[in-house]
Structure 1
Amino acid sequence: MITLALFFVGVVVSDILIEAWNEDDPSAIVIDEWVGQWIALWLVPHSITWGLMAFLWFRLFDILKPGPVQLMEDMKSGVGVMMDDVVAGILALFMTMSIHYFWTA
């Protein structure tokens, strides 16, 4: 619930700062990283190993910006600033939980 609320706060604040600073994705905005990382950790088992794996997948998708992550990045708005990390978080969650499923099956 907090993550969802922070997503909407992030959209509004990002739109304001994009306009004020005349930047597409100001590096000072980190609420998007926070939201994306919490999505990546959402259903992950509580252990250092699985948490680290989710973190690393999230960073990989956030840096490389494959397919749908890049589509969100290209939106050039507060929604785009937030959604590229949301999609990276979803992909990281999917990868981590897929590995967990096959590892523990």
Structure 2
Amino acid sequence: MKWLAQDPALKKLSLKNPIHFLALGFGSGLAAKAPGTFGTLAALPVFLLLAPLGLPAYLAITLVVIVAGVFICHRAAHDMGVHDHGAIVWDEVAGLLITLIAVPMQWQWIALGFVLFRLFDIIKPWPIRWLDAKVDGGFGIMIDDVVAGVFALLSLQLCLYWFG
């Protein structure tokens, strides 16, 4: 964990602080490599807990995750003194929850949703890249992953329609 000790921004956060704990994706954002992927992996148990609640509850909680994420990400970025530090991965949690809306509870579809979300989040096609570059604050941290989640959701639903 030498990387963590050398990052002065991360020294300003504490997993004991609930806002920091959530912003860091339950600690997954502290991964030295690919923290966004680890943050997305951390979202899988959240999805598995929410999916059995039914679509209306799932959508309501996903909306809360998104709206709260604006505050959570803003606060963590402010405390770190860095806009959209790689360790802030609550936006990945929200993005995967969006991607997996109404997906069948079969590992193949969940895995495809994971891959599609990571693909859109990494490649950042327009307007995701533009939003990532131009929108600041907690909303800016969240919006590119929300849109990546919507793109992945649409792609996954098309795959379900064609192949499901």
Whether TM-score is above 0.5 comes out as yes
Specify the code of the residue in structure 1 equivalent to 2:148. Answer: A
Q: Spell out, residue by residue over 1:12-62, the C-alpha distance to the aligned partner (whole angstroms, 9 max, x if none).
A: 122223233221202222211111001000022221111111110000001
Specify the code of the residue in structure 2 equivalent to 1:90. Answer: V
* 1:36 alignment counterpart: 95
State the 4+ residue runs in structure 1 displaced beyond 4 angstroms. Answer: none
Residue among 73, 84, 101 paired with 2:161: 101
Identity of aligned residues (%): 38
Residue among 115, 125, 141 paired with 1:81: 141
> Please, which runs of 5 or more residues in structure 1 have no aligned partner?
none
Larger RCO of the pair (alpha carbons < 8 Å, separation 6+) = 1
* Cα separation, 2, equivalents of 1:103 and 1:6: 30
* 1:62 alignment counterpart: 121
1:91 matched to 2:151? The reply is: yes
Residues 91 and 142, structure 2, Cα contact 8 Å, conserved in 1: yes
1:15 matched to 2:74? The reply is: yes
> Please, which runs of 5 or more residues in structure 2 have no aligned partner?
1-59
CA-atom RMSD in angstroms = 1.3
Residues 43 and 93, structure 1, Cα contact 8 Å, conserved in 2: no
Residues 72 and 81, structure 1, Cα contact 8 Å, conserved in 2: no
Q: TM-score, normalised by structure 2?
A: 0.59
Equivalenced residues, count: 104
Bigger drift between 10-19 and 82-91 goes to 10-19
* Cα separation, 2, equivalents of 1:12 and 1:66: 25
